[in-house]
Amino acid sequence: MTMTLRGATSAVALMTAIFPGLLAVPASAQEANRLPTVTVEGRPDNGGTLLSDEPLASKAAGTADTAELLRDLPGVTLATGGAFSSLPVMNGMADDRIRLLVDGMTVTAACPNHMNPPLIYVASGRVEAIESMAGVTPVSLGGDSIAGTIVVEPEAPKFAEPGQDLITGRVSTFYRSNGDALSVFGTQTVAKDDLSFTYAGSWSRTDDYEGGGPNRTVRATESENYDHNLTVGIRRGSDLLTLRGGLRYSPYEAFPNQYMDLTDNESQYLNGRYQGDFAWGKLDLRGYWQHVEHEMDMLADKGGAMPMNTRTTDLGYSLKAEIPLTERDLLRIGTELHSLTMDDWWPPVAGSMMMGPGTFVNINNGTRTRIGSFAEWEAQWTSAWSTQLGLRNDIVLMDTGDVRPYGTNMMQAADVAAANAFNALDRDRTDVNVDATAIIRFEPTETVAYSLGYARKTRSPSLYERYTWGRGDMAMAMINWFGDGNGYVGNPDLDPEVAHTLAFTGDWRAPNNGWRVKVTPYVSYVENYIDADQIGTFGMMGGPFVKLQFANHDALLYGADVSVDAALIRGASFGDLDISAGLGIVQGENRDTKDDLYRLNPLHGRLALSHRLGDWSNAVELRASAGKDDVSTTRKELETPGYALVNLRTAYQWDSIRLDAGIDNLLDQRWYDPLGGVDLYEWGTNMNLMAVEGEGRSFNVGLTVSF
């Protein structure tokens, strides 16, 4: 397997230089006819791992959910959302706690159920590189997050050799029998040596999927979406200008663990980036704009009517400079701005006493502006010892306008009182947040590396956490991005959460790369962790669900990730045989209430045996999880049983054609994702309280043609 290194960002390039193996990315323009062959994982605190040599393009073609590409990264698990909206969880911390940079953009979930998290805005087929840093993240890639950072880079512009033309592209399609899921992705580049145009587009749809065992359709799991993107690259010497724009549309996406479904999501974005090399160092400048119009209601499975609309604009820039001071020292400085404006309102339903006669104003011109700046110093003291020290400041300014309930009748009394109280408040908030990171790394030989890191990381509350205000049963049930069926109300008095994280990594490998073992234990103490307190129950809606208000508590999380890769057989007549395994465990507790934190994955692991003979590759994979019995009692979290799933895959690559086939959940096991939440279709229709069931067996086939 050959790897080429590419500086996806200047910061990444630097980390790559310091921690070899951190970033391994495929596909120079000359190799355009071959598929990208390496997926990427890395953490600066542990030197990173090359996780899988399964072609990223092949992996991407198999799913419309970009978050699925993260599933095998150490420390990362996924919380179920809709078909293409899973939420990544890092070291037990999810969603807004992760800094997700998609093409350098900070994008906000524009929905009180977080149906449109940032990863939906880059189709899986467009992803060229993913970098994941859990826990101890360099300040240059942090800010306003406590869990870690995930950097997703779409395909960089490709250029022709001098004096030549480059015309290259790729089309892939994938079919999954379960849910009749079909996806198509295509990209086409036309380039000279200094100018490049690329179009990339995708479409995917799926029906409701079947659970394992005797046929049972898991309702409210269908979806459809498509996107179009244009990229223009302009190269002058070592300067590169990349301009991108695109739009994405989803006409429907059902959510089994929400009362609502997505009924329309339209977005547009513009994004520009300049990368330049100067005598003093490197410069990386980015600017972006994204506008989202989101609508929710209930699709046919759930029935009913309750329109809810959200409109957001994200706008921002970042400026980073990388300055080699001496042979030993490197300085990285930067500044960035992210500005969010949000309106969230629920139109009246004709003839409804509860939902009328006026519009329910949930967030009225909410604003959240963050100005960040950082300095980071890397030093290579000896060939074995290196350090990284960083300091960062983020100022977060938030405000929102007056709100109003649907109306003023008796049924709306709780919301009327809450709106009056909210409108009387001074809602202007300013947080001044300080982050710091220190990493020390010791690499005595080529086959062993240790690193120890500490990070203080801060996240300010979101607009929904601070400013949602409704206290009526229905208004509260609409505020929930946890899939737990409860109702939530915001808290304007919330303080930012501050995590102190300590992580160690031991990384051992054989001199001939025949095996590699990595172990990363970590612990995080989070001051003012934004958890929730119970403030009531649902009288009318009944059920086990409760009313919760966001509240600061101290929390402790700790865990470990272990990964093992080994070459079992090399050069035999039947080919090469490799084994890889990963194991993760996390525990977390609210230190004030002694309750377990919500949505933590129990002990889980993956074991894969892969075979390769020339252009033919095969894998058998076992994914298993222990039962979940450490649950949050505050949130009435459901316990789930353990499971073990077997997946099979095979692929054959002819010159420019690749055929993929596989069977997921070979034994058609019935299983429940511990992070899947409550099946609210089952609850609403059959008063049956159960976790969302996972997918049963699926026969999959995919075809990719490069040209």
Site for Cu ion, rule CB under 5 A:
111, 113, 115, 296
Tokens of 654: 């002819």
- State which residue, 73 or 306, has the beta carbon closest to Cu ion: 306
In degrees and rounded to multiples of 5, residue 475 shows phi and psi of -60, -40
Three-state secondary structure call for residue 77: strand
**Residues ≥6 apart with Cβ < 8 Å to 39:** 51, 52, 53, 54, 56, 59, 69, 130
DSSP 284-330: EEEEEEEEEEEEEE--TTT-----EEEEEEEEEEEEEEEEE-SSSEE
CB 264 within 8 A of CB 292: no
Closest approach, Cβ 328 to Cu ion, in A, equals 51
- State which residue, 412 or 480, has the beta carbon closest to Cu ion: 480
Closest approach, Cβ 308 to Cu ion, in A, equals 7
- State which residue, 296 or 449, has the beta carbon closest to Cu ion: 296
Closest approach, Cβ 225 to Cu ion, in A, equals 14
- State which residue, 309 or 528, has the beta carbon closest to Cu ion: 309
**Position with the least CB separation from Cu ion:** 111
- State which residue, 181 or 298, has the beta carbon closest to Cu ion: 298
In degrees and rounded to multiples of 5, residue 474 shows phi and psi of -70, -45
CA distances from 132 to 275, 517, 668 (A): 22, 18, 31
CA distances from 490 to 111, 470, 482, 552, 558 (A): 14, 8, 14, 12, 27
Alpha carbons 227 and 115: distance in angstroms, whole number:
17
Alpha carbons 137 and 44: distance in angstroms, whole number:
7
CB 259 within 8 A of CB 296: no
Closest approach, Cβ 43 to Cu ion, in A, equals 32
CA distances from 311 to 151, 246, 366 (A): 25, 18, 10
Closest approach, Cβ 115 to Cu ion, in A, equals 4
- State which residue, 9 or 312, has the beta carbon closest to Cu ion: 312
Three-state secondary structure call for residue 685: helix
Closest approach, Cβ 502 to Cu ion, in A, equals 37
Q: Count of H helices and E strands in the chain?
A: 6, 31
- State which residue, 120 or 240, has the beta carbon closest to Cu ion: 120
- State which residue, 478 or 498, has the beta carbon closest to Cu ion: 478
Closest approach, Cβ 92 to Cu ion, in A, equals 25
- State which residue, 113 or 647, has the beta carbon closest to Cu ion: 113
- From the list 299, 206, 188, the residue with the least C-alpha distance to 254 is 299
- Residues, the chain: 707
- State which residue, 298 or 557, has the beta carbon closest to Cu ion: 298
DSSP 585-618: EEEEEETTT-PBPSS---SEEEEEEEEEETTEEE
Closest approach, Cβ 452 to Cu ion, in A, equals 42
Closest approach, Cβ 304 to Cu ion, in A, equals 15
Closest approach, Cβ 685 to Cu ion, in A, equals 20
**Residues ≥6 apart with Cβ < 8 Å to 602:** 585, 625, 626, 627, 628, 629, 630, 642, 674
